[in-house]
Amino acid sequence: MKSAHSTVGLYIHIPYCRKKCPYCAFYSVPIDTADPNRLIDAIFAELDSYDITEPVGTIYIGGGSPSCLPGDPLIEMADSLMSRYRNVSEFTMECNPAQADEATLRQLRAFGVNRLSIGAQSFNARELKTLGRIHSPRQIVEAVRIAKKGGFENIGLDLMFGIPGSSAKTWRHSLKSAAALKVQHLSVYSLTIEKLTPFARAVREGKLAVVDEAVERGMCKAARSLLRNAGFAQYEISNFAVPGFECQHNIRYWKNLPVVGIGPAAASWYQGKRTTNVADVAKYIKRIEAGRSAQSEAYIPSPEQIASESAVLGLRMTQGIDMPEYQKQTGFNLVRLFGDAIKKHSFHGLLECTVDDHCRLTEKGLSYADTVAQDFIL
């Protein structure tokens, strides 16, 4: 199998969803009046414009909610991608629990999709209602059952803590319910109140109360303890997996390795350039159909910026930064570049540099990761 350093990842953004969740800041639009076939044609046209020469190691179709697309376009897209890129080791698709269709999932598995990421968020009906989700706790259980029956042996669930109105008790219930389903991966995220979302407005108007930071920290610690006892290993601040089922595509981001992003609002880090596509379906399609670039932003980061990004991202991994590999990748010695930050946070017990040449967050440091990361930004 080829090294991740010699391959490229491919991310495809499907910006459609049945209903926009009030906390979501990702670019997405209702599918009601959309023409998905026209978007998919534009996606493949943009993909052609990249002329990717490296082997594609991972593919990730996210959104939005890709599973809200009709079955045929979704299956045809998977088939076309696998026909182009035959060396893909991991092909992930996101799925809303309310949209898990047994026949479609079975065909997707047959056409090369070998990993499913299901947006569960919570196993508490009231919390799901608060989040504006369209599924129920029972539908999460059913989606996992259907996925397993369809041949998926690598299934992940997304869970969210710090939901307004949640408690340590409801959070532990969600964690235990997820672990009981015998999935292979759990992504555990804190709810962030993003600007310009309905949640942000509700907080400003006093209609929504955020969970106390200390309570959130306790929820995070509870996740680490409970999931460890359930057989999951934490390999990144927010991600846990049965050993051997870590998400290889997302590891590319944390190791600052090349990823080509396709579709409206998709971002790329490829051939030394960072680009972001226009966050508008109609404009995206119009530009691609006219033979123009869909990019709304493009820049070439300096070597120092790349070194800083690689350090900040690498510290998210529980194994930390492999310092010899870091120097080979960036050209910088980590200790020379960030000596003061390493000394400061090591003194406070948040960071450790180990005998195996790794610099990593300690167990205590995992709860203060953002604070530590600030000192690695140049």
Structure confidence by residue, pLDDT tens digits, 122-174: 999 999 999 999 999 999 999 999 999 999 999 999 999 999 999 999 999 99
Q: Are residues 128 and 191 in the same domain?
A: yes
326 and 187 share one domain: no
Question: Into how many domains does the chain fold?
Answer: 2
Q: Is residue 39 one of the residues assigned to a domain?
A: yes
Question: Does residue 318 form part of some domain?
Answer: yes
Q: Is the pLDDT of residue 4 over 70?
A: no
* Residue 23 shares a structural domain with residue 165: yes
Q: Residue 3: which pLDDT band, with cuts at 50, 70 and 90?
A: low
CATH code of the domain containing 313: 1.10.10.920
pLDDT digits (tens, 9 = 90+) for 345-362: 999 999 999 877 999 999
Q: What residues make up the domain containing 350?
A: 303-374
Q: How confident is the model at residue 2 (pLDDT cuts 50, 70, 90)?
A: low
- How does pLDDT run across 27-52, given as a tens digit for each residue? 888 888 778 899 999 999 999 999 89
CA dihedral 246, 247, 249, 251 (to 10 degrees): -50
In a domain, 273, yes or no: no
If asked whether residues 308 and 249 sit together in one domain, one would say no
- Residue that finishes a domain, picked among 195, 229, 254: 254
pLDDT at 1: 46
Q: pTM (2 decimals)?
A: 0.95
Instruction: Please report whether residue 50 resides in a domain.
Output: yes
DSSP 68: G
Least confident span in 189-193, 315-319, 341-345: 189-193
- Residues 242, 313: one domain? no
Banded pLDDT at 315 (limits 50, 70, 90): very high
| Whole-number Å distance between alpha carbons of 346 and 351 | 5
Q: At what angle do helices 168-180 and 137-149 cross, to 10 degrees?
A: 20
5 has pLDDT over 80: no
Domain boundary among 233, 254, 275: 254
Query: End of a domain among 215, 235, 254?
Result: 254
Q: Do 340 and 232 have their domain in common?
A: no
Q: Do residues 63 and 16 touch, judged by C-beta distance below 8 A?
A: yes
- What mean pLDDT comes out for the span 224-249? 97
Using the predicted structure, report yes or no on whether residue 264 has a pLDDT greater than 80. yes
Mean per-residue pLDDT, 303-329? 97
Count CB-CB contacts under 10 A for residue 182.
12
Helix (H, G, I), strand (E, B) or coil at 355: coil
Same domain, 236 and 174: yes
Phi-psi region of 110 (alpha: psi -120 to 50; beta: other; left: phi over 0): alpha
Q: How confident is the model at residue 25 (pLDDT cuts 50, 70, 90)?
A: confident
- In angstroms, how far is CA 181 from the centroid of its own chain? 21
Given a cut of 60, is residue 369 above it in pLDDT?
yes
Residues 161 and 228 in one domain: yes
Q: Is residue 279 part of a domain?
A: no
pLDDT at 6: 86
Whether 89 has a pLDDT exceeding 50, the answer reads yes
Q: Which residues contact 252 (CB under 8 A, 6 or more apart)?
A: 4, 9, 57, 58, 258, 259
Residue 51 lies in a domain: yes
**94 and 188 part of one domain:** yes
Q: Examine residue 285 and state whether it is found in any structural domain, yes or no.
A: no
User: Do 55 and 117 have their domain in common?
Assistant: yes
What is the 8-class DSSP label of residue 317? B
Same domain, 202 and 327: no
Q: Mean pLDDT across the stretch 251-280? A: 97
Contact 183, 156 (CB under 8 A): yes
Could you tell me the sign of the dihedral formed by the alpha carbons of 341, 343, 344, 347, in that order? Answer: positive
In a domain, residue 133? The reply is yes
User: C-alpha angle 214/119/59, rounded to 5°?
Assistant: 115
Work out the mean pLDDT of the chain and round it to a whole number: 94
Task: Output the domain CATH number for residue 113.
Answer: 3.20.20.70
pLDDT above 50: residue 175: yes
Distance of CA 14 to the CA centre of its chain: 14
d(CA 301, CA 315): 20
In 3D space, the residue among 242, 317, 237, 302 whose CA is nearest the CA of residue 272 turns out to be 302
Same domain, yes or no: 324 and 216: no
